[in-house]
Structure 1
Amino acid sequence: MEPENGEQAPLRAEVLRYGAHPSQRIEVGGPERRADGRPAPVAVLLHGGFWRDIRAADLMDPLGADLAAAGWRVWNTEYRRTGSDGGGWPQTLDDVRAALALLAERLPAEGSADRPDRVVAVGHSAGGHLALLAAPGSPLTSVVCLAPVTDLADAHRRGLGEGAVADFLGSELGGAELRAASPVAQVPFGLPQLVLHGDRDQRVPLQQSLAYTEAARAAGDPVELRVLDGVDHFAVIDPASPAWAQARAWMDASPQA
């Protein structure tokens, strides 16, 4: 099932590059300042698609347009993916870290009145996986995970994404690699997180978010889990859905690291 995102115009603005590969790019749009003159909060969008090149950053355009209209500065981030795009482990994660490093370079210094008070990553599915792993050492103040992939060993056993984990990790499918690439085994990440997951998700089982939240809280991370009744994998990225409204409300009042 594909997302039903209506007819919102895609977010198109300045294109930044954090590397020479065509996929190492970010589309930046939305206001730089709020109506009251304060710097706009920043949303870093990371799309899903099980790390494969059949999906691209435009999957998040409707959310980007919604956030920009609400006063957010949006960084819709592309990265190298598996297939013919040169992605995989760890280069896909390296790309997200490089994109966040570019954002850190462009932000005003800590303590400056011109620095945004919130820099929130919004990751869907595999994008949630990347957001969590890239968070430490980044300028992110919190993370919103929409139906995230958090346990690659479990995902590999279940065959999620028609064998997506094997494509992503390649020959690196030993226990150590699966742990290194799994957020559930890498907690704590040291910043507030919202996890939204529908109980009708047919692509990433809700059990992953239940187990991740338990592990993250035990490790000391402040994680809020919201289980969405009757919601599937794609409703969480539909800006007209109640699921996304919950994410937006949390972002607008999001706690800081």
Structure 2
Amino acid sequence: MKLHRFLLATALAGTVLSAGAAAPMKLDDYLALTGPAPSASYAYGAAPSQYAELFMPPGDAPQSAPFPVAVLVHGGCWTSKFGGITQLRNMAGALAARGIAVWNVEYRRSDEAGGGYPGTYQDMHAALELLADKAAQHRLDTGRLVAVGHSAGGQLVQWIAGRAQIPRNSPLYRPNTLPVRAIVSLGGLADLRGEAALIKASCGRDTAELAGVPGPGRPDVFADTNAAELMPNGSHTYLVTGELDTISPPRVAHDYAARARKLGDTAEVLILPGASHYDEVAASSPAWPLVLEVIERALGQPAGKARHTAH
């Protein structure tokens, strides 16, 4: 079902937001976000940042096993300066309460040893491989899987969708990766080539930090890193952006969606009325019902409810 089906709901939500007292969230509000402790935590590498948290639905959740899965990838401008996995526990707890298991991923960022290119991308591979390994133990249905990323994490989940398109001679190539076709990018900055100036202005990051530098056998650093060039890949991407987002403005979502559709993939845009870059990931935000609806639709679940699909 297409996003235009709830454009009316978006407009009505905008009326509520305008009438309400909630101001758009700022960075300090985002950094203060927290949530429940995870059900389990698993390392996928030896570095301190190489781990993922699992949030399981409670016993009274409206979903029975096997559980659909949301992979969460936090943002923070690809650095360790602006929070990360802790803040996304806020969203993780809300999704688990809806009957959705959550795999909340930490990773090495560009200012950490081993982070940037290729380490950050290799961490995405390893985190998803570990998820596949743990799926049977925790009754996780990786056939009903959505990857949800915020800001820099939006870039990473959009990249995840295109992993099968990575050239075989790249350090990032992996055969037989876990398919992730449903993507929700919340204020993502995924077009590393086309949005280089914006990424520099918004985050202070240079292309070399995120994509490496050209060299023998790799003259084009975007061939294996730029989600916008790893299409078509059969994905369905939901680009969700706050109306007041200044880090990744609505124009970015519309431009990426147009490119994806031109190349043969499916992409839809939802602009959250009255919302900032940080409202996009807060379950306490007035925008959360719309974000939740997108995630549940990406999982193929009916609007407004989570339900078990028999296998």
TM-score, normalized by length of structure 1?
A: 0.86
1:214 is aligned with what amino acid?
A: A
Contact 1:11 1:62 in 2 (8 A): no
- The corresponding residue for 1:88 is 116
Structure 1 segments (4+ residues) deviating >6 Å: none
User: Is 1:155 aligned to residue 195 of structure 2?
Assistant: yes
Cα shift at 1:36: 5.8
Cα shift at 1:3: 6.0
2:148 counterpart (111, 122, 125): 122
1:241 counterpart (285, 289, 299): 285
Unpaired segments of 5 or more residues in structure 1?
A: none
Matches within 5 A, 1:23-172: 23-31=49-57, 35=62, 37-54=64-81, 55-108=83-136, 115=141, 118-135=144-161, 136=163, 137-158=177-198, 159=200, 160-172=202-214
1:188 counterpart (228, 232, 239): 232
User: Quick one: distance in 2 between partners of 1:114 and 1:74?
Assistant: 10
Query: How many residues of Structure 1 are paired with residues of Structure 2 in the alignment?
Result: 253
User: Quick one: distance in 1 between partners of 2:119 and 2:190?
Assistant: 18
* Structure with the greater alpha carbon radius of gyration: 2
- The corresponding residue for 1:2 is 27
Q: Deviation string for 1:193-227 (max 9, x for gaps)?
A: 21101232111232221111011112222211112
Q: Taking every aligned residue pair, what percent have the same amino acid on both sides? A: 31
Contact 2:242 2:275 in 1 (8 A): yes
Contact 2:69 2:141 in 1 (8 A): no
User: Quick one: distance in 2 between partners of 1:85 and 1:245?
Assistant: 38
Contact 1:24 1:79 in 2 (8 A): yes
Structure 1 residues 235 and 114 mapped into 2: Cα distance closer, same or farther (>3 Å)? closer
For residue 196 of structure 1, give the secondary structure of its aligned residue in structure 2.
Answer: strand
Q: CA RMSD in A?
A: 2.7
Q: Which moved more, 1:184-193 or 1:208-217?
A: 184-193
Structure 1 residues 179 and 209 mapped into 2: Cα distance closer, same or farther (>3 Å)? farther
Structure 1 residues 3 and 197 mapped into 2: Cα distance closer, same or farther (>3 Å)? farther
User: Is 1:201 aligned to residue 245 of structure 2?
Assistant: yes
For residue 241 of structure 2, give the secondary structure of its aligned residue in structure 1.
Answer: strand
Contact 1:192 1:255 in 2 (8 A): no
Structure 1 residues 205 and 179 mapped into 2: Cα distance closer, same or farther (>3 Å)? farther
Structure 1 residues 255 and 26 mapped into 2: Cα distance closer, same or farther (>3 Å)? closer
Structure 1 residues 89 and 35 mapped into 2: Cα distance closer, same or farther (>3 Å)? same
For residue 42 of structure 1, give the secondary structure of its aligned residue in structure 2.
Answer: strand
Contact 1:32 1:40 in 2 (8 A): no
Structure 1 residues 70 and 50 mapped into 2: Cα distance closer, same or farther (>3 Å)? same
Q: Deviation string for 1:58-103 (max 9, x for gaps)?
A: 1211001111122111111001111134200121011011111111
Structure 1 residues 215 and 154 mapped into 2: Cα distance closer, same or farther (>3 Å)? closer
User: Quick one: distance in 1 between partners of 2:78 and 2:251?
Assistant: 20
Cα shift at 1:165: 3.6
Cα shift at 1:190: 1.4
User: Quick one: distance in 2 between partners of 1:210 and 1:36?
Assistant: 34
User: Quick one: distance in 1 between partners of 2:140 and 2:34?
Assistant: 30
Cα shift at 1:129: 0.8
2:182 is aligned with what amino acid?
A: S
Q: Which moved more, 1:179-188 or 1:14-23?
A: 179-188
Q: Deviation string for 1:123-180 (max 9, x for gaps)?
A: 0011011112123432434111101112112332232302354433354499721353
